[in-house]
């Protein structure tokens, strides 16, 4: 029997329990299907196909520049590969992208005062040299309109070294790393100020167009730049496409000059030889091809149909395109292989799916999230006006991978506080794999962003950095060997579990309030 003082308090305690909201009395516990997770882990770790898929995408098909022959061939492979698992794949056009392009041959040498090979690559969508092209080099670091007069009459028939000299850093720390408890804690607690909306750099674009015209009018034979300083050097070259104003993908526009990017060490060697008063001759034999048969681009779409509510969606994806110096392994074939393997596993295990699971592999991401922005606008809503489509109400979540191929350590919540306890429950079975961290902050610059721009829950996983930001991102080092197979299998298991639970929970995942239209 209870003591008398406690018995006297019971009526008040009971009354308090009755008037408290249900959530305060007993917080809802997010259900987790451990049997399903066990089946997913078994398939992901014991019968994995993810590294074979990665090898086909990178070793066989190579870089996948949007609208290039390599991209189209790799897309056909995705359709065949998933088709073997009984998953239909379709190519969904999203609009005009421009001409395709491929670099088929590059041989670069300094031929005098001594001959030596040079490490470098052409920028995408720039012309080749129509055979070996040897000419003297001249340093002309034109940075403003005021510099034009100094180079009048000095560029005809010459390769132009357009970049100034820059520092080359020594390596005092390992270029690859995994997250520590301290770095994950910082990600979990840090809440930076919102990023300002990017605005077109009109003045810079217009200057680059004037500079390109000046170089053409002055009779330069080609342009040479130094690899940017945002990657470790050691003969690493980060190369993409022309900046705005330097050329376009449109077949009716006149092609700019041949445009090369060189490793800093070799670029600087030429500059130093010029300072020594030597005549430096550079020879380039570059064969680039343009493909104008189709200017339209497409995303790659596959579905696993749900049962009820089948009209509701859980999406997962990664961008399919890459740059051309490497084979686009960490950016982003590793992510593509993970997403494809998730679809295979959900099909192979026969796990029931209430909502339809839709995979989309995006093209044109490297040129500004073009494929995902067009897809969101077509299916879900226009971020400029916030005019929404009916399908907008049926989306539970979009899960994206595009921060290299390092192992998952958590999820960026994109400011969505309400989803935190749900993801915390979903992560718990993977804590022994290092999946422990939720960060409230946003992460930007990849294909989950267009979903958030129209108020849909789009998420990117927190990943171990590895050497993505130091060696591989947009460089010739972006190759199969830069990816850890165990990380790939772990990521497959975690993403498959997240997709499975989102597809089968009773309700859609909670959303943030709708954002304001982007138009002023």
Burial (CB count <10 Å: 0-12, 13-18, 19+), residue 139 = middle
Buried b (16+ CB within 10 A) or exposed e, 229-261: eebbbeebbbbbbbeebbbbbeeeeeebbbbbb
Q: Supply angle C-alpha 498, 327, 338, rounded to 5.
A: 10
* Residue 82: per-residue pLDDT: 98
Contacts (Cβ under 8 Å, ≥6 apart) of 384: 517, 518, 519
Contacts (Cβ under 8 Å, ≥6 apart) of 88: 82, 302, 303
Buried b (16+ CB within 10 A) or exposed e, 265-278: bbbbbbbebbeeee
Structure confidence by residue, pLDDT tens digits, 419-438: 999 999 999 999 999 999 99
Total residues found in the chain within this entry: 520
Could you give phi then psi for residue 107, rounded to 5 degrees? -135, 120
Q: How far apart are CA 420 and CA 411, in angstroms?
A: 9
Q: Domain boundaries in the chain?
A: 34-97+295-504, 102-289
Confidence (pTM): 0.93
Alpha carbon dihedral 119, 122, 124, 128, in 10-degree steps, equals: -150
Q: How far apart are CA 150 and CA 141, in angstroms?
A: 10
* Residue 4: per-residue pLDDT: 40
Contacts (Cβ under 8 Å, ≥6 apart) of 160: 137, 138, 140, 215, 220, 222, 223, 224
Structure confidence by residue, pLDDT tens digits, 165-213: 999 988 899 999 999 999 999 999 876 655 555 556 799 999 999 999 9
- Along the 520 residues of the chain, how does pLDDT read in single tens digits? 444 443 444 444 333 333 333 333 345 689 999 999 999 999 999 999 999 999 999 999 999 999 999 999 999 999 999 999 999 999 999 999 999 999 999 999 999 999 999 999 999 999 999 999 999 999 999 999 999 999 999 999 999 999 999 999 888 999 999 999 999 999 998 766 555 555 567 999 999 999 999 999 999 999 999 999 988 999 999 999 999 999 889 988 888 999 999 999 999 999 999 999 999 999 999 999 999 999 999 999 999 999 999 899 999 999 999 999 999 999 999 999 999 999 999 999 999 999 999 999 999 999 999 999 999 999 999 999 999 999 999 999 999 999 999 999 999 999 999 999 999 999 999 999 999 999 999 999 999 999 999 999 999 999 999 999 999 999 999 999 999 999 999 999 999 999 999 999 999 999 999 999 998 6
Query: Is the CATH code 3.50.30.30 the one for domain 102-289?
Result: yes
Domain formed by 34-97+295-504, architecture: 3-Layer(aba) Sandwich (3.40)
Q: Identify which of 273, 24, 246 has the alpha carbon closest to the alpha carbon of residue 122.
A: 246
Structure confidence by residue, pLDDT tens digits, 508-518: 999 999 999 99
**Element of type H or E holding 316:** strand 313-319
Mean pLDDT across the chain: 93
* Residue 24: per-residue pLDDT: 38
Contacts (Cβ under 8 Å, ≥6 apart) of 180: none
Pairing verdict, β 281-291 and 387-388: unpaired
Q: How far apart are CA 425 and CA 187, in angstroms?
A: 19
* Residue 25: per-residue pLDDT: 36
What helix, strand, coil percent values describe the chain, rounded to 5?
A: 35, 20, 40
Could you give phi then psi for residue 294, rounded to 5 degrees? -145, 125
**Element of type H or E holding 370:** helix 370-379
């Amino acid at each position: 029997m209870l003591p008398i003082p406690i018995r006297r308090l019971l009526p008040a305690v009971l009354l308090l329990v009755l008037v408290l909201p249900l959530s305060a009395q007993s917080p809802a516990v997010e259900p987790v299907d451990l049997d399903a997770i066990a089946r997913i882990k078994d398939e992901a770790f014991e019968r994995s196909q993810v590294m074979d898929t990665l090898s086909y995408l990178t070793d066989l098909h190579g870089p996948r520049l949007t609208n290039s022959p390599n991209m189209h061939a790799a897309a056909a492979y995705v359709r065949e590969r998933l088709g073997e698992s009984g998953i239909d794949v379709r190519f969904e056009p999203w609009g005009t992208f421009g001409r395709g392009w491929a670099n088929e041959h590059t041989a670069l040498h300094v031929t005098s005062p001594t001959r030596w090979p040079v490490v470098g690559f052409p920028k995408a969508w720039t012309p080749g040299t129509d055979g070996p092209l040897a000419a003297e080099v001249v340093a002309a670091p034109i940075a403003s309109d005021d510099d034009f007069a100094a180079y009048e009459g000095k560029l005809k028939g010459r390769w132009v070294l357009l970049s100034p000299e820059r520092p080359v850093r020594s390596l005092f720390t390992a270029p690859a790393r995994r997250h520590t408890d301290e770095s994950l804690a910082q990600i979990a607690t840090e809440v930076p100020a919102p990023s300002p909306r990017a605005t077109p750099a009109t003045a810079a674009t217009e200057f680059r167009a004037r500079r390109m015209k000046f170089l053409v009018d002055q009779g330069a034979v080609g342009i040479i730049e130094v690899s940017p300083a945002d990657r470790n050097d050691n003969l690493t070259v980060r190369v993409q496409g022309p900046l705005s104003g330097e050329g376009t993908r449109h077949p009716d526009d006149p092609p700019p000059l041949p445009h090369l990017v060189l490793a800093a060490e070799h670029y600087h060697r030429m500059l130093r030889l010029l300072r020594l008063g030597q005549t430096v001759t550079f020879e380039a034999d570059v064969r680039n091809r343009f493909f104008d048969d189709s200017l339209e681009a497409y995303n790659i779409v596959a579905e696993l149909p749900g049962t009820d509510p089948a009209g509701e969606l859980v999406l997962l994806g990664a961008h399919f395109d890459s740059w051309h110096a490497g084979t686009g392994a960490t950016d982003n074939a590793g992510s593509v292989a993970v997403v494809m393997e998730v679809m295979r596993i959900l099909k192979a295990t026969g796990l029931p799916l209430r909502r339809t699971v839709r995979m989309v592999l995006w093209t044109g991401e490297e040129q500004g999230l073009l494929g995902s922005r067009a897809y969101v606008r077509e299916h879900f809503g226009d971020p400029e006006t916030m005019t929404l489509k009916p399908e907008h109400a049926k989306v539970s979540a979009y899960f994206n991978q595009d921060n290299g191929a390092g192992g998952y350590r958590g999820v960026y919540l994109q400011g969505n506080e309400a989803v935190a306890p749900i993801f915390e429950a979903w992560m718990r079975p993977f804590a022994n794999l290092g999946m422990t961290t939720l960060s409230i902050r946003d992460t930007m610059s990849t294909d989950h962003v267009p979903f958030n721009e129209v108020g849909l829950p789009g998420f990117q996983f927190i990943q171990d950095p590895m050497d993505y930001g130091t060696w591989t991102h947009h460089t010739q080092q972006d190759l199969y060997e830069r990816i850890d197979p165990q990380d790939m299998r772990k990521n497959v298991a975690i993403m498959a579990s997240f997709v499975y639970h989102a597809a089968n929970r009773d309700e859609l995942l909670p959303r943030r309030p709708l954002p304001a239209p982007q138009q002023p």
